[in-house]
Amino acid sequence: MKYIDQIEMKGKKVFLRVDFNVPIKEGKVTSDNRVRAHIPTINYALEKGAKIIIASHLGRPKGKRVEEMSLGPVAPILSGLIQQEVVFVDDCVGEKVTQAISKMKNGDVILLENLRFHPGEDKNDAAFAKELASLCDIYIDDAFAVSHRAAASNSAITDYVKTCAAGFLLKNEIEYFQKALINPARPLAAIIGGAKVADKIGLLENLIEKVDKLLIGGGMSYTFLKAQGINVGKSLCEEDMLDTARKIMQKAKEKNVQFILRVDAVIAKTASADAEVKVCDIKNIPEDWMGLDIGPATIALFSDALKDVKTIVWNGPVGMFELAPFSKGTFALAKIIADSGAISIIGGGDTETAIRQAGLNTKMSYISTGGGAFLELLEGKTLPGIAALDKC
Instruction: Note whether residue 390 is domain-resident.
Output: no
Q: Looking at the structure, do residues 251 and 352 belong to the same domain, yes or no?
A: yes
Domain of 150, CATH number, reads 3.40.50.1260
Q: Looking at the structure, do residues 342 and 292 belong to the same domain, yes or no?
A: yes
Looking at 109, 135, 169, the residue that finishes a domain is 169
Q: Looking at the structure, do residues 159 and 218 belong to the same domain, yes or no?
A: no
Instruction: Note whether residue 386 is domain-resident.
Output: no
E strand segments, 143-286: 163-166, 188-192, 213-216, 258-260, 264-268, 278-281
Q: Looking at the structure, do residues 131 and 197 belong to the same domain, yes or no?
A: no
What amino acid is encoded at 37 in this protein?
Answer: A
Domain that holds residue 212: 184-378
Instruction: Note whether residue 176 is domain-resident.
Output: no
Q: Looking at the structure, do residues 104 and 195 belong to the same domain, yes or no?
A: no
Q: Looking at the structure, do residues 285 and 147 belong to the same domain, yes or no?
A: no
Residue-level pLDDT at 21: 96
Q: Looking at the structure, do residues 199 and 278 belong to the same domain, yes or no?
A: yes
What total of structural domains would you count in the chain?
A: 2
Dist CA 82 CA 111 (whole Å): 13
CB atoms within 10 A of CB 391: 9
Q: Looking at the structure, do residues 237 and 160 belong to the same domain, yes or no?
A: no
Q: Looking at the structure, do residues 51 and 164 belong to the same domain, yes or no?
A: yes
CA atoms within 13 A on the CB side of 265: 29
Q: Looking at the structure, do residues 200 and 316 belong to the same domain, yes or no?
A: yes
Q: Looking at the structure, do residues 34 and 156 belong to the same domain, yes or no?
A: yes
Where in the sequence numbering do the catalytic residues fall?
34, 196, 349, 372
Instruction: Note whether residue 250 is domain-resident.
Output: yes
Looking at 135, 169, 203, the residue that finishes a domain is 169
Q: Looking at the structure, do residues 164 and 210 belong to the same domain, yes or no?
A: no
Between 39-47 and 74-82, two packed helices, what is the crossing angle to 10 degrees? Answer: 60
Closest Cα partner for 19 from 123, 140, 145, 130? Answer: 145
Instruction: Note whether residue 124 is domain-resident.
Output: yes
Instruction: Note whether residue 178 is domain-resident.
Output: no
Query: In tens digits, what is the pLDDT along the chain, a chain of 392 residues?
Result: 999 999 999 999 999 999 999 999 999 999 999 999 999 999 999 999 999 999 999 999 999 999 999 999 999 999 999 999 999 999 999 999 999 999 999 999 999 999 999 999 999 999 999 999 999 999 999 999 999 999 999 999 999 999 999 999 999 999 988 888 888 999 999 999 988 898 899 899 999 999 999 999 999 999 999 999 999 999 999 999 999 999 999 999 999 999 999 999 999 999 999 999 999 999 999 999 999 999 999 999 999 999 999 999 999 999 999 999 999 999 999 999 999 999 999 987 789 999 999 999 999 999 988 878 888 888 888 999 999 999 98
Dist CA 122 CA 150 (whole Å): 8
What is the model's pTM? 0.88
Instruction: Note whether residue 51 is domain-resident.
Output: yes
Instruction: Note whether residue 208 is domain-resident.
Output: yes
